[in-house]
Amino acid sequence: MKSVVDPSKIDLLMKSGRFDADWYVRRYPDVALTGMDPAEHYLWLGERLGRRGNPSGVDDVIIDLHQIRPTRPKRTDDASAVLPDVDGMMRVLAKWEGLEKDYVCYQLGVERESDPLRVAQMYYAALKTRNILPNPLFDPEYYKMVNHLKFREDAVYHYLTGGSEKQLSTHRLFDHEWYLKSYPLARDVGDLIVHYWSNGYRNKILPVDEGKVPVLSPIKEAFFSEISIGKKIKYDSLIYREFNFDLNHLDDESLEDHYWSAGRSEGRLASIPALLDKYHLPGHCLPVDFDPKQYMSLHVDLEGAFLKNPWGALTHYISGGFSEGRLYNYAQVNGFVRPLSYSLSDDALASSKDKTPLCVLVHLYYPEMWGEIEPYIANIDFDFDLHVNLVESTWSSVAINNIRRAYPKAFLKISPNEGRDIGGFFSLLKNIDFSSYVAFALLHSKKSPHVTREYASLWKKNLFGAILGSRDLIRENIAAFLEDQEIGIIGSIRSRHAGIEGNEDGMKKLFEIYQISEEHQACEYVSGTMMMVRSEIMFGVYQPLSNHQFVSGDNKGIDHHIDGQVEHSVERIFGNVMKQLGYRFLWR
């Protein structure tokens, strides 16, 4: 295969001594899936994604990006060199066999349109502000990124005037290499998208390898429902139950009776194709890697509604989640969620030598919530220290008694109500010897008056559960810190957040204070500030602001809980400090 990167650049990188190919492949397992040379992958894509070329630490030598910055593949026959006007591009798109008119209309939220030129017009009108897919297997943003197009270049036009012939990658869910194994002759046909829909799809071959991308059976059935022999599925008991959870009390037989006798006439949905029909979304446009449980768990506002009937979440996605751009599986968030293989034996604990594995910090603004937190702490079955911060205006003797009864060696402090949970943690950290711990667990009594009680409850459950959910999980987490020196913070994937919201000014200040370099200023953090943090990072976050005077929260309204306070910025800076120090998140 011809390299997509100038070989001299690869040579330069390898000679620089700053690239560790073995480490890179281990660190980013998806590299192996591409079959590319690791250095080539790094120069082609890894560096653009902010990946590192070698295991970095605090004193990491920064790769000179100017020297080895990858050059874009030169396209001597570059069709985009001279771009036609929009009308020209629209005509090209309208003529494309792969244009999915219904799919485009669905994305635009408009009635179905049969005129391809009209669809192409609407497509380009909307494309100015949104990423619209003209075909389920053509993602313009993905295409631009992996094929190194310039921002001003039009992805569709580029594909249709040259890219298709080169069979450039078009969508993360269209694995060309895998598809060509089934249709080796397709290597010469040019437009693989059109080939797939005419051939692969009709033979019920998925566009991706199920061995690499899990595809759930109901989704697969719906995906191929348009070419299924015989009548489309009208009734699916699992789906009917989960889409209509008010009928959950019925047994299977009664449930089906209900559909045929009443549900159908009431317009109740009884299958995924029926749902897709309702919203004019062709079955083959359904993303094959959709996972209703992951969709629900990524969006805690859905968890209350669909906790017991996860397939019901599909109705949310099809009716609104899609157009809101909501992510629907962990792979979209994190590339992949690596199953943990760490385990913490007593021998491993003993080998941590002088360090206590865990220091648990609890900020207990609501002392009556100790009973909710305590069971999570009780899951820790090895040596740990417990520090609890209570607040001057809310502490109670009952809570103090209960804490001391359960944990006679606990350290309790009462502090002014300043800086919310962050202020409480900082108060507890005042006399802590950071070097004596492997990691810290941060917990607090969250009520979050700015969100609903149910939402807050689920949020809390997710936050606590990811770090202290069970004995085995806690041991896995500690083992992860001990065995993988790159893991800096462990938190709930459901609480992963990347929004600055109203904290731009605060973050700018903190970037200066913490000396966060530009490449580490992207926002990514555990929303809710409940996480496990490697000791070095905890120190890194604490030290620069150890004498900061946080604002009192007493007698403050709801506004105080919403973004804008310095503590909201500190909550976010954990992620930046972590990356600055050369560590990464482990999302659970």
Partner 1 sequence: MKIAFILHDLSLTGAPKIGLDMAAIMARDHDVYLVSKKDGPLRSVAEEKDFKEVRIIKTSHEYEKLSLSSRVAQYQTYLEDIRADYVYINSIASADWAAACRDLSIPFALHGHEMRAEIRSLAISGIFQLSDAASADLIVSASEECAKDTRSELHLGNRPIFNFGVGIDCEIVGEKARGQVPQAVNVAGSLLNLAKDFGGRKRVAMCGVACERKGADLFWQLAKRCPDMDFLWIGPWDDDVAKPVNPALPLNKESGIDNLYWTNMLSNPYPALKASDLFMLSSREDPNPLVVPEAMSLGLPVCTFSETGGSRVWTERFGFSMAGKVSPARMENFVRRFFSQDDWNYNPSDLFLAEADIHNKVKDLMERLAESGSVNS
Task: Give residues in contact with partner 1 (CB under 8 A).
Answer: 389, 392-393, 395-398, 401, 408-416, 427, 430-431
Comparing CB distances to partner 1, the nearer of 410 and 523 is 410
* Residue 395 vs 459, nearer CB to partner 1: 395
CA–CA dist 474, 164 (Å, integer): 49
Residue closer to partner 1 (CB basis): 352 or 396: 396
In whole angstroms, how close is the CB of 429 to partner 1 at the nearest point? 11
C-beta of 412 vs 531, nearer to partner 1 = 412
- CB nearer partner 1, residue 345 or residue 435: 435
Please state the φ and ψ torsions of residue 584, each to the nearest 5 degrees.
Answer: -140, 170
Nearer to partner 1, 227 or 398 (CB): 398
Give the residue with the Cβ less far from partner 1, 315 or 427.
427
How are beta strands 384-391 and 487-491 bridged, if at all? unpaired
Query: Whole-angstrom Cα distance, residue 421 to residue 363?
Result: 6
Beta bridge partners of 361: 387, 442
Closest CB to partner 1 among residues 190, 416: 416
The residue (of 270 and 412) whose beta carbon lies closer to partner 1 is 412
How far is residue 466's CA from residue 470's CA, in Å, rounded to a whole number? 9
Residue 412 CB, shortest distance to partner 1, in Å, is 6
- Nearer to partner 1 by Cβ, of 261 and 397: the residue is 397
For 63, half-sphere exposure in the C-beta direction (CA atoms, 13 angstrom radius) is 26
Residue 477: closest CA among 349, 331, 297: 349
Determine phi and psi for 544, rounding to 5 degrees. -65, -25
Supply the minimum distance, in Å, between the C-beta of residue 440 and partner 1.
17
CB 320 within 8 A of CB 106: no
CB of 552 vs partner 1, minimal distance in Å: 12
What backbone torsions phi and psi does residue 449 show, to the nearest 5 degrees?
-65, -10
Cα separation values, 16 from 68, 293, 300, Å: 10, 45, 46
Residue 429 or residue 526: which is nearer to partner 1 going by CB? 429
Rounded alpha-carbon distances, angstroms, from residue 148 to 127, 239, 249, 505: 19, 42, 54, 33
Q: Least distance from C-beta 485 to partner 1, angstroms?
A: 23
Let me know: does 481 contact 438? Beta carbons within 8 Å.
Answer: yes
* Choice between 270 and 429, CB closer to partner 1: 429
Pairing label, strands 411-415, 437-444:
unpaired
| Burial of 205: CB neighbours in 10 Å, binned 0-12, 13-18, 19+ | middle
- Residue 495 beta carbon to partner 1: minimum distance, rounded to whole angstroms: 27
Whose Cβ is closer to partner 1: residue 274's or residue 403's? Answer: 403
Could you give the C-alpha distances from 561 to 420, 421, 555, in angstroms and in order? 9, 11, 12
The structure tokens 């790769």 sit at: 63
Least distance in angstroms from the C-beta of 414 to partner 1: 5
Structure tokens at 90: 């629209």
Least Å from the CB of residue 221 to partner 1: 60
Q: How far is the CB of 386 from partner 1 (least distance, A)?
A: 11
HSE toward the beta carbon, residue 372, CA cutoff 13 A: 18
Could you tell me the CA-to-CA distances from 509 to 15, 151, 503, 516, 540 in Å, in that order?
39, 31, 10, 10, 16
Least separation in angstroms between residue 569's CB and partner 1 is: 22
Q: Which amino acid is located at 264 in the chain?
A: R
Residue 584 bridge partners (DSSP): 487
Contact 363, 463 (CB under 8 A): no
Q: Minimum distance between the CB of residue 27 and partner 1, rounded to whole angstroms? A: 34
Q: How far is the CB of 369 from partner 1 (least distance, A)?
A: 18
How far apart, in whole angstroms, are the C-alpha atoms of residue 306 and residue 535? 37
Strands 411-415 vs 584-587: parallel, antiparallel or unpaired: unpaired
Dmax over Cα atoms in the chain, in whole Å? 78
Shortest distance in whole angstroms from residue 548 CB to partner 1: 13
Minimum Å gap between C-beta 393 and partner 1 is: 8
Tokens of 246: 């008010």
Give the Å distances, CA to CA, from 264 to 160, 225, 249, 316, 377. Answer: 44, 20, 18, 20, 50
The minimum distance between CB 464 and partner 1, in angstroms, equals 24
Answer whether 98's CB lies under 8 Å from 171's CB: no
Q: Which is nearer to partner 1, 241 or 363 (CB)?
A: 363
Q: Which residue has the tokens 């692969």?
A: 200
Helical residues (DSSP H) of 366-406, grouped into ranges = 370-377, 397-406
Identify which of residues 152 and 405 has a Cβ nearer to partner 1 in the complex. Answer: 405
